[in-house]
Amino acid sequence: MEEVWDILDEKGNKTGRIMNKGIVPEGFYHQGADVWIINSQNKILIQKRSPQKKNSPSVWAMTGGSVIKGETSLETIERETKEELGISLNMKEIKLVKQYKTGTVWLDTYLIKQDVDLKDIAMQEEEVCEVKWATYKEIEELFAHNQFMENRWEYVRDIIKDFMIRK
């Protein structure tokens, strides 16, 4: 079944129009959501996108996806984490830390402190081909070598660093 998205204006407001997943009309946006999962050792759970992905194949990223019509960004994070990694988040602990637009997406970015055993992860093969815990420095290196998804890390790296220090 094709995903249906709400179309947003330049300020991130719903226009009342919808579209099937695909190319967003010029001058408009759709809603996305990301979650950065940080464990008690201050390592970040990252996933390598499947080589079959249309956008950013075979690069490392956080967990996230597009908000479908009738869903909140928080519900998207819960759904995408369950679908892509087979794990449940402690939704009482999640925090919205940034909203921004990049390309044709308005992104809600969440952080959560949660330990996850990599053995408990069941990857959705069409989305994810590898997962690992990475240090802040390791993600900086991946990003510097164009091996991390564009338009994500650079917007939240300082927030994540601060979050790690405070928790």
CATH class of 32-96+105-166: alpha beta
Q: Rounded mean pLDDT of 128-132?
A: 97
pLDDT at 29: 96
- Rounded to 5 degrees, what are φ and ψ at 27? 85, 0
Cα pseudo-dihedral 96, 101, 103, 105, rounded to 10: 50
Looking at residues 54-66, what average pLDDT do you find? 94
- The answer, yes or no, to whether residue 146 has pLDDT greater than 80, is yes
At residue 165 the predicted structure's pLDDT band, cuts being 50, 70 and 90, is: confident
Residue 130 has pLDDT above 80, yes or no: yes
pLDDT for the residue 13: 94
Residue 142 pLDDT > 80: yes
Helix axes 153-166, 136-144, angle to 10 degrees: 170
Please, are residues 60 and 148 in contact by the beta-carbon 8 Å criterion? yes
So where are the chain's domains?
Answer: 32-96+105-166
Report residue 125: phi and psi, to 5°.
-55, -35
Closest of 77, 84, 71, 160 to residue 125, by C-alpha:
84
Instruction: Please state the pTM of the whole predicted model.
Output: 0.94
- pLDDT at position 167 is 59
Q: Is the pLDDT of residue 1 over 70?
A: no
Model confidence over 74-115: pLDDT tens digits? 999 999 999 999 999 999 999 999 999 999 999 999 999 999
Write the pLDDT tens digit of every residue in 20-44: 998 899 999 999 999 999 999 999 9
**pLDDT band for position 166 (cuts 50, 70, 90):** confident
138 phi and psi angles, rounded to 5 deg: -65, -40
pLDDT at 155: 93
